[in-house]
Amino acid sequence: MALGNAFLTPLGLLGLASVIPLVILYLLRPKPSLVRLPTFAFLGVETEQATRHRFFERLRRDALFLFQLAVLVGVSIALATPYLSVPSAAVAEETVLVVDASASMSVESGGTTRFARAVDAAADAAAGSTTVVVAETNPRVVLRDGAAAAARQTVRDLRVTDAPGDLGAAVTAASTLTGPEGRIVVVSDFAGEGWQTPVEEARARGLAVDLRQFRGGGTDNVGIVDLSFADGRVTATVRNSGASTATRQLGFDAADRRAVQLAPGDVAVETFDVPPGGGVLRLTPSDSFDADDAAYVAAPGTAQVRVLLLTNDENTYLTTALGLVEEVDLTVVNPPTAVRGEYDVVVFGDVAPQRLLRGDLALARDTLADGGGVAVLAQEDLARLGYGDLLLLRPTREVGTTATATSGDDPLVAGIEFGGGEYVRGEPRTGRTLVAANDGTPLVAVADSGGGRVLYYGYLERSSSFRFNYLYPVFWKRATLSLAGRASLEDLNYRTGERLTFADDTTVATPNGRVTGTTVPLSQAGIYTVDGREVGASLLDVVESDVNAPLVTSDVVSGGTTGEAATASVPFDLTPAVVAVVLGVVAGEVLFMRRRGDI
């Protein structure tokens, strides 16, 4: 057995060299001279009894040497810091359990899940003062310095999430909560990256870190790893992280399912129309990891957006574009005709100045106050119309021409090339300019106003090339839904692990029940309802969906033990015991010398 397996500081054994001078000293000690005295000659007869006691007399004379030898050997051993390897649970004053509750722990194998086996192992590891840290998107400390029985109950009450987890952050948190005599027990599948460095750092600090891996199942996984939305359609990315070629059906319902065949590591992309009110985009048949087999897509319902277009020179390009939007219920009125009813969006375009009624402007402001929107389209005599705060431009009477237009990255105009055309020159009054002419005049501008939203469209349609663009109806669909306050598909759909935040306490209906607070984590996949509005949450994480966790060995992370039943060993210092023995020998030497009469 190597010295390092028995001594923490083997160099201390060099102290054994001190035995050599002691031995030499005793070997060179002068022998006593024998002097014959005739007076005591009669005592020189050797008897059998005297022969028997000679050995003990010699031992008595050499006992002091043995005491001193024992002291030198004992001190040298103490300097080398002897130890025994014992299970960390046997000596730990406190235990910190790190339980991985990320989505990949829900993989099924052998009739149970990775998480269920991990929970059993964590409960068995609870000992002494126990802290429990849960590895989720953001680590949570659910028990601090509790009794072992309380820790076992806390662990068994945990539930696996449908969200990615940050195991490395959880181990780092556990390290800050662990004292020098504590131990950390991590139960996880150890899928993904980023946890190795925190583990090695904790071990470098002298902490006992016990890794217990649960990695069964997952070799058949095919999952939805991403969603993107555009103009009422959803594009799903599907990846095969399994070990063999797989075929799945993908779709919202049986009527529109498409076959997807993927070799290991392959990716497929499919695009679908989003049903009114949303739905579940599902992969069938399911596999051992069902968290990424479904994507919950929330969408606005079937309620129509009531749009009022006030015009005295109907723009057929605009009315055609609005008529193509399924969500729009369009009403066209020619001022000064009286307007009745309530609307979600009011649009002013090519209105004769002398025919614009105060009632029309009042209706527009009432629409804003009710949370709706108002759009004002440019016309040559725009400066003569008294739109007031409804107009985001300070117009001049000049008409300009631009060959190109500069667009921003706002979702309203993203991906659309507006091109050149004529426009009314002017300066921004307020709001944000999304598209600008060469001289900086706004061509598309938006602002929040009066509780609703206002839009300015600056092209003069008679000369605009954009009206012939196939994206012209797309722009007006986006604009109408935005003005009406209808959230976009991007705004209604989240990834698990994200949070809903509110200014005040708000009650949210989650897949697991109602939750009230200013922040609600989206830890489970499904539909969440807040104030009558639905939002969807889905896993959509390519790393978390790669559930084929490699076996954790000393080649992956150094400095400790791994395995489903691994138990970390720690050195139990024997130095105090050796010192106690040395002190006992010294005390014995003193008593011996006193008995012999030397002191």
Q: Span 84-109, mean pLDDT?
A: 80
Specify if 288 maps to a domain. Answer: no
Question: If residue 72 lies in a helix (H) or strand (E), which one and from where to where?
Answer: helix 48-79
Question: Are 518 and 450 members of one domain?
Answer: no
d(CA 571, CA 80): 13
Beta bridge partners, 444, equal 435, 457
The answer, yes or no, to whether the previous bond of 285 is cis (omega within 30 of 0) is: yes
Mean residue pLDDT across the chain: 86
Q: What is the pLDDT of residue 372?
A: 94
Positions of E strands within 46-175: 83-87, 94-100, 108-109, 112-113, 129-135, 140-146
- Close Cβ partners of 156 (under 8 Å, ≥ 6 residues apart): 119, 123
Q: Are 187 and 212 in contact (CB under 8 A)?
A: yes
- Residue 357 sits in the same domain as residue 395: yes
- How far is residue 324's CA from residue 314's CA, in Å, rounded to a whole number? 16
**Phi, psi (deg, nearest 5) at residue 516:** -120, 135
pLDDT band at 387 (very low <50, low <70, confident <90, very high): very high
Q: Residue 269: inside a domain, yes or no?
A: no
Instruction: Report the distance separating Cα 173 and Cα 166, nearest Å.
Output: 11
User: Residue 549: what pLDDT?
Assistant: 85
Q: Which of 8-12, 33-37, 375-379, 557-561 has the lowest mean pLDDT?
A: 557-561
Share of the chain above pLDDT 70, in %: 87
Decide if 533 contacts 546 (C-beta within 8 A).
Answer: no
Confidence of residue 128 (pLDDT cuts 50, 70, 90): confident
CA distances from 471 to 414, 468, 508 (A): 11, 8, 37
Quote the pLDDT of residue 90.
Answer: 46
- List the CATH number of the domain containing 110: 3.40.50.410
Task: Name 263's Cβ contacts closer than 8 Å, sequence gap at least 6.
Answer: 240, 245
Least Cα distance to 322 among 109, 474, 492 occurs for 474
What contacts 454, CB < 8 A, 6 or more positions away?
Answer: 368, 373, 374, 375, 376, 390, 392, 431, 446, 447, 448
Residues found in the chain: 599
Confidence band of 573 (pLDDT split at 50, 70, 90) = confident
Whether 21 and 109 map to the same domain: the answer is no
pLDDT category at 47 given cuts 50, 70, 90 is very low
Q: Which of 261, 230, 236 is nearest to 246 (CA)?
A: 261
Is the same domain home to 349 and 392?
yes
In a domain? residue 589: yes
Q: 228 — alpha (psi -120 to 50), left (phi > 0) or beta? A: beta
Do 60 and 203 fall within a single domain? no
- Residue by residue, DSSP assigns 502-525 as EEEEEEEEETTEEEEEEEEE--SS
In a domain, 491, yes or no: no
Tokens encoding 22: 């002691």
pLDDT given for residue 77 in this prediction: 82
pLDDT of residue 81: 79
Do 310 and 341 share a domain, yes or no?
A: yes
First to last CA, the chain: 44
Same structural domain, 366 and 383: yes
**Is residue 145 located within the same domain as residue 17?**
no
pLDDT in tens, 345-373: 999 999 999 999 999 999 999 999 999 99
Distances (CA, A) of 109 to 114, 116, 594: 7, 11, 74
Residue 491: partners with Cβ closer than 8 Å, 6 or more residues away: none
DSSP bridge partners of 113: 108
Predicted pLDDT at 425: 95
Over residues 137-161, the mean pLDDT reads 95
Task: Summarize the confidence of residues 72-101 as an average pLDDT.
Answer: 75
Cα 17 to Cα 3: distance, rounded to the nearest angstrom? 17
Q: What is the band of 565 on the pLDDT scale with cuts at 50, 70, 90?
A: very low
Residue 350 belongs to a domain with what CATH number? 3.40.50.880
What local confidence, expressed as pLDDT, does residue 146 receive? 94
Q: Estimate to the nearest angstrom the gap between the alpha carbon of 499 and the chain centroid.
A: 12
Query: CA 51: distance to chain centroid?
Result: 86
pLDDT reading at 591 higher than 90: no
pLDDT in tens, 209-219: 999 999 989 89
d(CA 162, CA 522): 9
pLDDT at 55 over 50: no
* pLDDT at 152 exceeding the cut of 90: yes
Which residue has tokens 């902490």? Answer: 207
pLDDT at 20 (0 to 100)? 81
Residue with tokens 């390519």: 542
- State the angle between helix axes of 48-79 and 19-27 in degrees (0 to 180), rounded to the nearest 10: 160
Q: Amino acid identity of 182?
A: G
The continuous run of DSSP H or E covering 596 comes out as helix 575-596
Taking phi over 0 as left and psi of -120 to 50 as alpha, with beta for the rest, 251 belongs to left
Q: Which pLDDT value is given to residue 37? A: 58
Strands (DSSP E) found in 39-177: 83-87, 94-100, 108-109, 112-113, 129-135, 140-146
Beta bridge partners of 348: 310, 376
**Domain annotation covers residue 298:** no
Cα separation, 567 vs 576, whole angstroms: 25
Instruction: Quick: pLDDT tens for 470-527.
Output: 999 999 999 999 999 888 888 899 999 999 998 889 999 999 999 999 999 999 999 9
Query: Are 380 and 424 within 8 A, CB to CB?
Result: yes
Q: Do 105 and 58 fall within a single domain? A: no
Strands 373-377 and 345-348, by their bridges, are: parallel
Do 196 and 116 share a structural domain? yes
Q: Do 308 and 331 contact (CB within 8 A), yes or no?
A: yes
Which backbone phi and psi does 111 adopt, to 5 degrees? 85, 5
**pTM for the whole structure:** 0.67
224 with 236: CB under 8 angstroms?
Answer: yes
Q: Residue 57 has what pLDDT?
A: 54
Within a domain: 391: yes
Beta-carbon contacts of 339 under 8 Å, excluding residues fewer than 6 positions away, are: 308, 310, 333, 359, 360, 363
Domain assignment present for residue 500? The answer is yes
CB-count exposure of residue 17 (10 Å: 0-12, 13-18, 19+): exposed
What is the per-residue pLDDT for 407? 81
Q: Helix H segments across 523-574? A: 542-545
pLDDT score, position 73: 81
Expressed as residue numbers, the domain containing 100 is 87-217+547-573
Position 564 scores a pLDDT of: 47
Q: What angle do CA 252, 239, 99 make, to 5 degrees?
A: 100
For the chain, the domain total comes to: 4
Q: Is residue 112 part of a domain?
A: yes
pLDDT score of 91: 46
Element (H, E) at 67: helix 48-79
CA distance 552 to 117: 17
φ and ψ at 436, to 5 degrees? -130, 150
Q: Is the peptide bond before 336 cis (omega within 30 degrees of 0)?
A: yes
Q: Over 60: is that where the pLDDT of 56 sits?
A: no
**343-to-196, 307, 313, 446 alpha-carbon distances in Å:** 59, 6, 21, 19
Same domain, 61 and 208: no
Question: Could you tell me if 319 and 365 lie in one domain?
Answer: yes
> For 228-275, what is each residue's pLDDT tens digit?
998 788 999 999 999 999 999 999 977 789 999 999 999 999 999 998
